């Protein structure tokens, strides 16, 4: 993870110096000083590059005369009165993206008079998030392709320490999620997912693990039905963090779909693109990363994360279209499509979580349907919710951290579409409204009085091109959203 230090002023000349500038030629104190030292080269370069000061836009000068630096970056901030935490993070992300493989190992970022205090910490946070890379299996990278940037020194940022410490814990959770989502399926499967999470105990997280035998005893026929075609046994992992200091506070419960690889089972997916289904555990990854974030920053809240972990494979023991399975709460399900497996995992995991922890609020995250991508593309995750207040809280949290949600409808008319002719419920409805009927399925396993939200994150956990705070690949979507949701609504 990128190292961040804060200083009142630069101790030595930096090999790379970063200064800030806004629209209409507005220079920060650091940029103005650099312009004076270089005889107006900063302003001249900005004019030549048609630099307008947009957030994250960059003009780069090499070995500028008058400065003892080999590289000078002028980075746009947008209008000064519009700089908030989100903008500061985008500025930091742009800096990290430009310098990550530049050959520079460190850089000094002068934010004097522009991005100070809390905002300076958010700039650093953006840089840390954007600098994450997964090169574990890339053995033939050329030197110029390898990350070199190891640290940033931020000068003039003022008192950013408390905010920085909190954000560092969150960044650790995001990094954990991105790693889980990126790992190949021969490395990450239900048992090894649990192993990857064992070090959360060192942060104070209580871990509970259910194996095949225990789930069978509990009657989790839906979850185990998905897993029966794989040689990899299923697991449920529960992670509890209680930072309230009290034993009588009901927890908020997050539940994640953890299909570590999804072939579709007997209802086999097309081969093209099937490799992407290693990230069908993105919901479980987000819940695990959120628990890391909450524990690392010592959140004063009681939160439980539960992930149902299976691999969906098509061997001779796999469940068939037409099978009927019995869930933990006794409802029977006619399995019409074995590729609609995530809801079968979630229904047993959610019911067990309610039985075990007696929550008033349950939020599940799942890469559940391709239909949500057709509806919303990759800009929003779909939100289905039985409570207007909870929906508003989640939407506000997502908006605050740039992990946007769009509320979708649920209701009786949709619920009737999943009634089965031979069982209580069928696991797919008609082609129309596929993400909605999937949510309705999960909703049948939410106890009366429990506030529940389902977040379909199929379009947001993986990106085919870089974003402001992530490279292409795993985004870590959901970690910061859940952390902010807890921080704004359940901490004193």
Question: Does residue 343 have an active-site annotation?
Answer: yes
Question: What is the rounded distance in angstroms from the CA atom of residue 251 to the CA atom of residue 166?
Answer: 21
Question: What is the rounded distance in angstroms from the CA atom of residue 320 to the CA atom of residue 225?
Answer: 9
Of the CA atoms within 13 Å of residue 3, those in its CB half-sphere come to 10
Of the CA atoms within 13 Å of residue 452, those in its CB half-sphere come to 24
From 166, 176, 178, 343, active-site residue:
343
Of the CA atoms within 13 Å of residue 29, those in its CB half-sphere come to 11
Read out DSSP for 121-148? HHHHHHHHHHT----TT-----GGGS--
- Nearest partner of 154 among 18, 343, 344, judged by Cα: 18
Helix residue ranges per DSSP H, 233-281: none
Residue 19: φ, ψ to 5°:
-125, 165
Sheet hosting strand 302-312, strand order edge to edge: 206-210, 235-242, 302-312, 252-262, 361-366, 451-456, 381-385, 405-407
Question: What is the rounded distance in angstroms from the CA atom of residue 123 to the CA atom of residue 20?
Answer: 12
Question: What is the rounded distance in angstroms from the CA atom of residue 35 to the CA atom of residue 21?
Answer: 11
Question: What is the rounded distance in angstroms from the CA atom of residue 44 to the CA atom of residue 491?
Answer: 50
Question: What is the rounded distance in angstroms from the CA atom of residue 181 to the CA atom of residue 176?
Answer: 9
Residue 303: φ, ψ to 5°:
-135, 140
Say whether 174 sits in a helix, a strand or coil. Answer: helix
Question: Does residue 50 have an active-site annotation?
Answer: no
From 269, 404, 407, 444, active-site residue:
269
- Nearest partner of 353 among 476, 210, 217, 482, judged by Cα: 210
- Nearest partner of 125 among 82, 78, 80, 172, judged by Cα: 172
Q: Would you please indicate which residues are annotated as catalytic (active-site) residues?
A: 269, 343
């Amino acid at each position: 993870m990128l190292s961040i230090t804060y200083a009142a002023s630069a101790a030595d000349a930096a090999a790379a110096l970063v200064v800030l500038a806004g629209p209409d030629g507005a220079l920060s104190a650091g940029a103005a000083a650099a312009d004076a030292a270089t005889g107006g080269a900063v302003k001249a370069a900005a004019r030549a590059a048609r630099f307008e000061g947009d957030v994250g836009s960059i003009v780069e000068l090499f070995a500028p005369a008058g400065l003892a630096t080999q590289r000078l970056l002028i980075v746009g901030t947008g209008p000064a009165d519009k700089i908030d935490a989100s903008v500061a993070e985008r500025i930091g992300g742009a800096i990290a993206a430009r310098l990550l493989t530049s050959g520079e190992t460190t850089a000094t970022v002068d934010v004097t008079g522009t991005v100070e205090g809390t905002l300076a910490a958010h700039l650093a946070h953006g840089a840390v998030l954007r600098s994450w890379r997964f090169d574990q299996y890339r053995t033939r990278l050329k030197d110029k392709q390898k990350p070199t940037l190891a640290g940033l020194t931020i000068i003039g940022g003022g008192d950013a320490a408390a905010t920085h410490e909190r954000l560092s814990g969150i960044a650790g959770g995001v990094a954990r999620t991105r790693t889980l989502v990126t790992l190949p399926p021969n490395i990450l499967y239900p048992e090894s997912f649990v192993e990857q999470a064992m070090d959360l105990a060192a942060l104070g997280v209580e871990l509970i693990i259910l194996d095949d035998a225990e789930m069978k005893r509990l009657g989790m026929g839906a979850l185990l039905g998905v897993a029966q075609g794989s040689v990899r046994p299923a697991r449920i992992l529960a992670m509890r963090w209680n930072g309230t200091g009290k034993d009588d506070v009901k927890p908020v419960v997050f539940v994640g779909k953890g299909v570590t690889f999804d072939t579709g089972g007997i209802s086999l997916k097309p081969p093209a693109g099937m490799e992407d289904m290693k990230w069908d555990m993105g919901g479980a990854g987000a819940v695990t990363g959120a628990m890391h974030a909450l524990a690392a920053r010592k959140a004063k809240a009681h939160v439980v994360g539960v992930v149902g972990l299976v691999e969906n494979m098509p061997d001779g023991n796999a469940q068939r279209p037409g099978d009927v399975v019995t869930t933990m709460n006794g409802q029977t399900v006619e399995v019409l499509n074995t590729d609609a497996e995530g809801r079968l995992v979630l229904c047993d995991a959610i019911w067990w979580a309610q039985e075990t922890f007696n929550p008033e609020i349950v939020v599940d995250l799942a890469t559940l349907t391709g239909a949500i991508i057709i509806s919303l593309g990759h800009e929003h995750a779909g939100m289905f919710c039985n409570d207007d207040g909870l929906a508003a809280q989640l939407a506000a949290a997502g908006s605050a951290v740039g992990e946007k949600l769009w509320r979708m409808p649920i209701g009786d008319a949709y619920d009737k579409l999943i009634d089965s002719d031979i069982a209580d419920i069928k696991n797919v409805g008609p082609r129309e409204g596929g993400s909605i009927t999937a949510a309705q399925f999960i909703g049948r396993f939410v106890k009366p009085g429990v506030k529940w939200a389902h977040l379909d994150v199929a379009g947001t956990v993986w990106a085919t091109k870089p974003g402001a705070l992530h490279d292409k690949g795993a985004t870590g979507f959901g970690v910061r959203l859940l952390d902010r949701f807890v921080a704004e609504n359940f901490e004193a």
